[in-house]
Structure 1
Amino acid sequence: MSDHAPAPRRPLFQSDEDAKLSTEERSLLENGYEAALDALRRNVTPAGFSACSLKDNTVYGTDVNYRSVWARDGAKTICWTLDLEDEDIDACQRRTLETLLDHTAENGHVPCNVTIDDGRPEFTGVGGIASIDAGLWVVIALQEYCAAREDWSLAERYRDKLTVMMSWLAAQDSNGDGLLEIPEAGDWTDLFARNYHVLYDEVLWFRCLGCYGEILERFGDADGAAKYRAWGKRVGGLILKNFWPSTAAPEPPEDPNPLHNVPLPSFADAQFALGDARYLVAEVSPFAFSWRCDVYANLLAYIVGLVDKDRARMTFRFLWGTGVSDPWPVENLYPVVQSGDREWKDYFTVNLLNLPHHYHNGGIWPFVGGLWCRYIHKLGMTDLAKRELVKLAECCKLGVGREWEFNEWHHGQTGRPMGKAYQAWSAAGFIKACHALDVDPEQQP
């Protein structure tokens, strides 16, 4: 690995718009950016990006799976560092995709992770449940990587495998209603109780379909590209219809494919009298209807272009009022699930991981904080976005053993770091936010 620092495409924090940042704040951001690059380099391995620095974390028991190239971690790290001009980072981005795609099963199931020490793929998580979002993120990252490099050879190499992967993902729509059916513990919230139609996964499915359509377009398959783009548009309409309850719900979008005309049970229709949402709700199933706000998924929905600006502004006003960015940007769930709530599960207490304001149950995740800053910037509130970026830098500067650890997550109330140190996606999310706030916001996940 070379000893030169990766360089962004444009100099940071030098525009006239930064006049409202103090000298100390600008210095904090510049130091944070360099520290994020250092944290990112600590995750470069011959197999691809590790989830967290292998040299700076002691792992034992189930924590050993941190010594892996993770599909969701690696894909996000790729997407959020594509602006860097550095040969070592570029090579690691490519190796991450190759490692995951080379170990994809014959049926198209992408492994949730591949161990770095022995190259063993792991396809399931807690309870032996399949990881659904792994494949979604890998398709997205592959398209983003090839588009950024203007080189589609990597996608071409895995062309046949991509076809099978998309078939496997489409099969997760087990009843043909247009949305994926996600098992509990089937995505990044692998110790949290969400299932069936889960907003986070549906947003990724929307984006994945669009990305695959772009890949097919590059392959010269115009008909296939049009099919997947139309498919993605329909999925986007179903998400808005079913996850944004309204007393004046719109008609479902027309679908020329009769196989997709299975009626979709909609709590947004059945319980419209409850009122009008100000955000996309976290989960919908035939047996439950959660009014909780998955902050992460809502931020993604606007950034990838699923939600329009008016709705995104409404969501921002709601989230700003709840204080999800205090003490740091940003809690991943509002409100948290308390013991005794319908959604509470006894296993939340395993390792005390998902207690209220912990981990997936309202913990503060710096990578989600990076999305929060980009979300606000895309809404046009540049000054506020930069003030929130300063808060995110202050968060990432904290550490258990030293400054600028870019920890995995922080306690939702105290703000103290509780996760692994030098987490790849925490550093990458900060880098991407720094780039986005100096240029026009991009509709990338």
Structure 2
Amino acid sequence: MIEEGFIASPTQKDNYCRIWSRDSSIMGLASLLTGKEDLIETCRRSLCTLSKNQGPHGEIPSNVDPRTKRVSYGGTAGRVDGNLWFIICCGEYWKKTGDDRFIEQMIDSLEQARWLLEAWEYNNRGLLYVPPTGDWADEYVQSGYVLYDELLYLQALREIICIHRHLHGSANHELEKKASRLKHLIRANYWFWEEDDEPEDLYHEILYDKGRKAAAQRGGYYWMPYFSPTGYGYRFDTLANVFVTLFEVSDEEHEKLVDEYIADRIVHEEVMLLPAFDPVIRPQDKKWHDLQMNFSYTFKNAPYEYHNGGLWPMVTGFYAASLAKRGQSDLARKYLTGIHNANKQEMDGDPWSFPEYLHGKKYVAEGTSRMGWSAAAAILAEHYLEGKGLFE
């Protein structure tokens, strides 16, 4: 927490000591549940810093270095989810604080970001197209129509719809229609039963047939992570399967099956933490070559590390919040305990290191220490257990 907003980590490693649109928004959302004025004000300042450095086409910075003032809009590709998290956090900040002046000052930035997102649909058919390295899993191997990003897009549209209604005193029917269609597209194209007819909101007939074949590799029922012009991925994307419930896109039958899959196949009960993706990609797997070639500084995705099987407090925090929202408080508390136990692990001799993730087999703290969103995970889960919430 600095004058310009929330930094991802004060650790002087790689580029973590910056105001990241994604990290600062997640920390900002957690701050809104605390009621603490200094944290909420830091959330506002983060959003103002990002808005002030918005690019000429509406792109929200991936990150801003508060020391050098250097602005990055992405690495080898732009970051789609930075725009999405920015819009969501602006909307939630305004709804929680009632700060009308803030939203009036932000509306131009929000509209520019929205127009850019619509351009990123490319074919004007309702789904964002995300390039490789284009979101938080920037060193993993998924791209195209990525469910995680589509769900954030849906929530971002909902935030703008709410803001528009407040500022203009009327509904924006085109935006409401767009959000409704996006929800239908998600439900139709990312969930597969063993035997089902083609849905009404089919995105592409041949791709959907490829999706059926990919879905057979899952070993259970959950939402597919992405599809692209070449086919579907099948690995379990934990955040996507959490957000589809947290943003109220799924129904109870979906939720029951996903919860069962997480309990049976995903959670590491020894530590009560969840991986970002599952199963782990190993050297003998087809995706290994692509994974090994994709990194910014050094290769981080060895088996059971980072996105490739590392266990994330941040990811687990959103799932605990989802469970609490659905009345599964006892299970949510077990996950919250897992988050606390992870956050208090030592790194470099320092206790309470708030690590980025734990190794998926050794259960030791790895990645970058003093991660703000690892702390935010505990705050989100705790306050959802107290009956508070977001995205209402």
TM over 0.5: yes
Q: CA deviation at 1:108?
A: 0.4
Q: Do 1:194 and 1:283's aligned partners in 2 also have CA atoms closer than 8 Å?
A: yes
Alignment partner, residue 330 of structure 1:
274
- Matching residue of 2:54: 104
CA shift for structure 1 position 266: 5.9
Residue of 236, 239, 245 corresponding to 2:186: 239
The residue identity in structure 1 corresponding to 2:284 is G
Correspondences of 1:269-280 after superposition (within 5 Å): 269-272=209-212, 278-280=221-223
- The answer to which of 385-394 and 142-151 deviates more is 385-394
Residue equivalent to 2:6: 49
DSSP-derived class of the 2:79 partner: coil
Aligned 1:170-181 pairs, distance under 5 A: 170-181=118-129
**C-alpha distance in 2 between matches for 1:201 and 1:180:** 7
* Superposed CA offset, 1:239-293 (max 9, x none): 111111232246335xxxxxxxx95356344553665961111111121221111
**TM superposition shift of 1:140:** 0.2
Question: Could you tell me how far apart the structure 2 residues matched to 1:210 and 1:252 are?
Answer: 23
Shift of 1:48: 0.4
Whether 2:383 is the aligned partner of 1:435: answer: yes
1:65-76 equivalences in 2 (<5 Å): 65-76=15-26
Say whether residues 1:298 and 2:241 are aligned partners.
yes
Residues 185, 203 of structure 2: 8 Å contact kept? no
Query: Which of 191, 195, 204 is 1:264 aligned to?
Result: 204
Tell me the secondary structure at the aligned position of residue 284 of structure 1. Answer: strand
Residue type of the partner of 1:363? G
The question of 1:132 aligning with 2:80 is answered yes
- Secondary structure of the structure 2 residue equivalent to 1:412: coil
After superposition, give the CA deviation of every residue in 1:54-98 in whole Å (9 maximum; x if it has no partner).
Answer: 2xx242xxx0x2121000001111112202222221221111000
179-188 or 241-250, larger mean C-alpha shift? 241-250
**Is the 1:302–1:309 Cα contact (8 Å) retained in structure 2?**
no
How far the C-alpha of 1:308 sits from its partner, in A, is: 1.9
- Structure 2 stretches of 5 or more lacking a match? none
Partner Cα distance (1:145, 1:443) in 2? 10
8 A Cα contact 1:367 1:429, kept in partner: yes
1:46 counterpart letter in structure 2: E
Amino acid across the alignment from 1:97: L
Corresponding residue for residue 342 of structure 1: 286
Q: How far apart in 1 are the matches of 2:328 and 2:107? A: 41
How does 1:170-209 map onto structure 2 within 5 Å? 170-209=118-157
Say yes or no: does 1:94 pair with 2:44. Answer: yes
Look up the SS of the partner of 2:275 in the other structure: coil
RMSD of aligned C-alpha atoms? 2.1
Of 314-323 and 138-147, the range deviating more from structure 2: 314-323
In the alignment, is the contact (CA less than 8 A) between 1:49 and 1:74 conserved in 2? yes
Counterpart Cα distance in 2 of 1:251 and 1:405: 47
Unaligned runs of 5+ in 1: 1-43, 254-261
Which structure: larger Rg? Answer: 1
Query: Which segment drifts farther, 204-213 or 301-310?
Result: 301-310
Cα 1:249–1:92 shift into 2, 3 Å: farther
Aligned residues: 383
1:201-220 equivalences in 2 (<5 Å):
201-220=149-168
C-alpha displacement of 1:119: 1.8
Amino acid at match of 1:77: M
SS of the equivalent of 2:361 reads coil
Query: How much has 1:160 moved relative to structure 2?
Result: 2.0
